[in-house]
Chains A and B, each alone.
Chain A
Amino acid sequence: MNFDWTAEGPKLLELLYGVLAFLAVVGVLLLVLDKLPLRKDRWVAAAFLFPAGALLMIGLIIPAIRTTILSFQGASTFEAKWVGLDNYKWIFTQREALITLRNTLLWVVLVPLIATSIGLIYAVLVDKARLESFAKALIFMPMAISFVGAGIIWKFVYAYRPPGEQQIGLLNQIVVWFGGEPRQWLLDSPWNTLFLIVVLIWIQAGFAMVVLSASIKAIPTEIVEAARLDGVTPWQMFWQVTIPSIRPALIVVLVTITVGTLKVFDIVRAMTSGNFDTSVLAYGMYDYAFVRYDSGKGAAFAVLLFVLVTPIIIYQIRNLRQQRTIR
């Protein structure tokens, strides 16, 4: 492997052009604004929003519209044929697609709830404990691993070898130690989806823990002490002081994890490739659009995903606004 610096020259030059072109656009914009007699703030704001708006348009809005159009068209990647709502009808009637929907539902319900609960309990337990930061680092570490990496790690945990052979999977080795028969964890639906869900919980619990722990530490000491003086039990403290005080943080964590879960793709792809009834919406989208060349059905999955995420985002925005008015 020889790295040829001279061959990289043109690429670096192109990069330089790109950066300079960007600076030039901003420069011209500033120049024009400076010269124009208009001094209305609205115009200035509009002018500054323009580059970001244009990029959003090219990178987000136009593709979204195109995807929506594709979802009303037929299978061929190259010649458009209108099929109306057929692709959506297919999603809600065909067994394979229905299982994809069921799995997505399982993911979206279980991952945020369990990951947040684990994060919360852990945050409360280690709060002000000895070696608190070490304990936190332990659970936070999986956050640093990519989804694909995590998928591969857990694929090894679930690895199967027939009885009598040397087990290489941790879980089956434990089963064997306790006198059981090794099992094919990733084969039997719907349990295999639960085994995949564990992976995302493993990743996300650390995130929930960090945010909630910070929030718990921000509870004013007066409130905690007042409650103590009133003689609350730890149980009452948790439900009647801690939880209400960190409610906004809880919602943020739940919503963030929910949105992340809806998009889950890498774990399924790395561990089962959607086989054995483990597919989810985002994987179905990829599978149909890019492997089976059925862009219509792939796009329909994408639109459905978008529709499902939208209310969550709207809820989140409204929530943030309400908090701002309270303050």
Chain B
Amino acid sequence: MASTTRRLLLAFAAAGLLTVTACSSSSDTEAGKDNPNLDTAACSAYAAYKGQGLDGKTVSVSTSIRDTEADLLKQSWKAFTDCTGIKIDYAGTSDFEAQLPIKVQGGNAPDIAFIPQPGLLATFAKQGALKPASAATKAEAEKNYSPDWLKYSTVDGKLYGAPLGSNVKSFVWYSPSMFKEKGWAIPTTWDELITLSNTIAATGMKPWCAGIESGGATGWPATDWIEDIVLRDQGPEVYDQWVAHTIPFNDPKIVSATDRAGSILKNPAYVNGGLGDVKSIATTSFQEGGIPITQKKCALHRQASFYANQWPKGTKVAEDGDVFAFYFPAIDPAKGKPVLGGGEFVAAFADRNEVKAFQTYLASADHANSRAKLGNWVSANKGLDIANVSNPIDKKSVEILQDSASVFRFDGSDLMPAAVGAGSFWKGMTDWITGKSTKDTLDYIESSWPK
């Protein structure tokens, strides 16, 4: 018995010894040399990254961008990675917003994250987890983006990276062929929009369709509605005060704007074409919300530019096609052109040279054009040549973003604290759709604002 035990022990001990030796003998991969590719003509644009010893280094990227869009993104920086030799370790997850803080707190932060919420970015920056943008990144960002946009990734006077993609939310989708057939004209003011809605309702068709179900984020499309209308009903100054909580969430001005949104969204004569009653908005997924347009069961659907990707295969998205979008009209066009939008920001959790280089590259017009050429993409990058944007709705978005009459504001719920922006605002809007009064809803959201 004893000898068997001993033999066993020896085996274990040997195994232990093996582990130790095996650990110490792991060799370092050769790194630090410059990629010879950099000397070729095709790579001359990346000469700025030469001599930084980046070849073979890896940058990890964490985002919420997945599937086709992710593939296009990866393709867009192929020339950069080929020329510099930097490897990009890309991870896209639908649970990005929940996973990122866990990773950061666990000491496992990615090198770069594309953060779509300036509020979350500011939290990380204040915590000291983010690295301020390098001088090169800062110069590139300031060259290519308006101060309006950079404001959202600037915390305590320090810039934490440039925006990447953007989207324009102030769009109403419609069917050009249906409009032509019925003789409807595209409304250019709010009053015209309501008149059109009444005209359509009189034909027996519910003019609007909407869907706000989105899994754990159910309610966000409704928050976009409210934000877009606060911007129209009350103007950008009130919008800023509301987002910054210098006026309460349930301020009478916001109540009036929300009621204006309700005059469409909670009007049984207006919604929810092809999908059910008013309440069905809450249980219809946002992806399916506009589909009844293609079945001629509704005529209008307010949703962002990225909804272009949601139409069934074979739907022609064009001014003379099956579906297209018009600008969600202003209430008083004399006060400018309110535009609600969103986008993601390239924030870095590490300041190694290869990370800085990649961050700088993503801020450049070079990358914006490279990505735009691949299709389905919008950016507020001023260096973006509109000729590179192929999709008509993206073209329209870029025009709106570059239009000097546009009064651009970032998605408010993404700027508010998560407890409101990713919590009570979503929940509140869902309850509002299913019957809760405007006053009760806004009181509830106000009471949840972190003190």
| Cβ-closest chain A residue relative to B124 | A78
Residue of A nearest to B17 (CB): A24
Least distance between B218 CB and chain A CB atoms (Å)? 5
- Spot the interface stretch: A135-143, A286-294, A309-317: A286-294
| B12 pairs with A26, CB closer than 8 A | yes
Cross-chain contact of A184 among B123, B280, B430 (Cβ < 8 A): B280
A77 touches B15 (CB 8 A): no
Contact B18 A293 (CB under 8 A): no
A75 to B422, CA, bound (A): 14
Query: A28 interface residue, CB < 8 Å from B?
Result: yes
- Say yes or no: is B309 at the interface (Cβ < 8 Å to chain A): no
Given the complex of chains A and B, what is the CA–CA distance between A23 and B20 in angstroms?
12
Subset of 21 A-B contacts with CB under 8 Å: A20-B16, A20-B19, A21-B16, A23-B12, A23-B15, A27-B13, A30-B9, A31-B9, A31-B13, A76-B123, A78-B127, A162-B276, A273-B215, A275-B218, A276-B434, A290-B98, A290-B101, A290-B102, A292-B422, A293-B418, A294-B418
Give the docked Cα–Cα distance between A44 and B424 (Å): 55
The answer to whether B6 has its CB under 8 Å from any CB of chain A is yes
Q: Are B423 and A292 in contact (CB under 8 A)?
A: yes
- Interface pair A294/B12, CB less than 8 Å apart: no
B367 interface residue (CB < 8 Å to A):
no
Answer whether residue A96 sits at the interface, using C-beta atoms and an 8 A cutoff: yes
Closest to A270 in B: B215
User: Which residue of chain B has its CB nearest to the CB of A32?
Assistant: B9
Closest beta carbon of chain B to A203's beta carbon, Å: 21
**What is the distance, in angstroms, from B30's C-beta to the closest C-beta of chain A?**
16
Asked if A132 CB lies within 8 Å of chain B CBs, one says no
Residue of B nearest to A273 (CB): B216
Contact A273 B218 (CB under 8 A): yes
| Pick from A23, A76, A161, A291: contact of B97, CB under 8 Å | A291
Shortest CB distance B191–A (Å): 30
- Are A34 and B280 in contact, with the CB atoms below 8 A? no
A291 to B216, Cβ gap below 8 A? yes
Residues of B within 8 A of A287 (CB): 216, 423
Contact B276 A160 (CB under 8 A): yes
Q: How far does the Cβ of A51 sit from chain B's closest Cβ, in whole Å?
A: 13
Query: Do B16 and A28 touch across chains, with their CB atoms under 8 A apart?
Result: yes
Interface centre among A30, A75, A78, A165 (most CB of B within 10 A): A78
A184 touches B276 (CB 8 A): yes
* A20 and B105 contact, CB distance less than 8 A: no
Which B residues from 202 to 231 make CB contacts under 8 A with A?
215-216, 218-219
Residue with the greatest number of chain A CB neighbours at <10 A, chosen from B16, B430, B434: B16
How many angstroms from the CA of A293 to the CA of B121 in the assembled complex? 13
**A28 in contact with B12 given A160-B280, A162-B276, A273-B218 (CB within 8 Å):** yes
**Could you tell me if A78 and B218 are in contact, using CB atoms closer than 8 angstroms?**
no
A230 within 8 A of B: no
User: Is B12 a contact partner of A293 (Cβ separation < 8 A)?
Assistant: no
Chain B residues, Cβ within 8 Å of A77: 101, 105, 123
A/B pair count, beta carbons within 8 Å: 112
| A34-B422 CB under 8 A given contacts A27-B16, A184-B276, A290-B102 | no
Chain B residues 318 to 336 lying within 8 A of chain A, measured CB to CB, are: none
- Asked if A96 meets B427 with Cβ closer than 8 Å, knowing A34-B6, A273-B218, the reply is yes
Interface string of B1-38 (1 = CB under 8 A from A): 00001101101110111110011000000000000000
CA distance A96 to B448 in the complex (A): 11
> Given that A30-B9, A30-B12 are known contacts, is A291 also in contact with B422, CB under 8 Å in the complex?
yes
Residue from A24, A78, A275 within 8 A of B12 (CB atoms): A24
**Are B283 and A186 in contact, CB atoms less than 8 angstroms apart?**
yes
**Smallest beta-carbon distance A300→chain B, Å:** 14
Closest to A16 in B: B22
Q: Is B423 in contact with A291, judged by CB distance below 8 angstroms?
A: yes
- List CB contacts (< 8 Å) of B273-295 with chain A: 274-277, 279-280, 282-283
A225 within 8 Å of B (CB atoms): no
A79 to B123, CA, bound (A): 10
Q: How far is the CA of A79 from the CA of B129 in the complex (A)?
A: 12
Closest to B447 in A: A94
CB distance from B276 to the nearest CB of A (A): 4
- Considering the chains assembled together, what is the distance between the CA atoms of A269 and B217 in angstroms? 11
Could you tell me if A162 and B275 are in contact, using CB atoms closer than 8 angstroms? yes
User: Is B312 close to A, CB under 8 A?
Assistant: no
A187 CB within 8 Å of chain B:
yes
Contact A276 B6 (CB under 8 A): no
Chain B CB within 10 Å, residue with most, of A13, A21, A27, A96:
A27
B450 contacts partner chain A, Cβ-Cβ < 8 Å: yes
CA distance A287 to B218 in the complex (A): 12
A187 adjacent to B419 (CB under 8 Å): no
Shortest C-beta distance, B193 to chain A (Å), equals: 24
Q: Provide the bound-state CA to CA distance between A123 and B16, in Å.
A: 53
Q: Assuming A20-B18, A293-B422, what are 9 further A-B pairs, CB within 8 angstroms?
A: A77-B105, A77-B123, A78-B127, A274-B216, A275-B218, A288-B423, A290-B102, A291-B97, A291-B418
- Bound-state Cα–Cα, A25 to B218, Å: 49
A191 at the interface (CB under 8 A from B): no
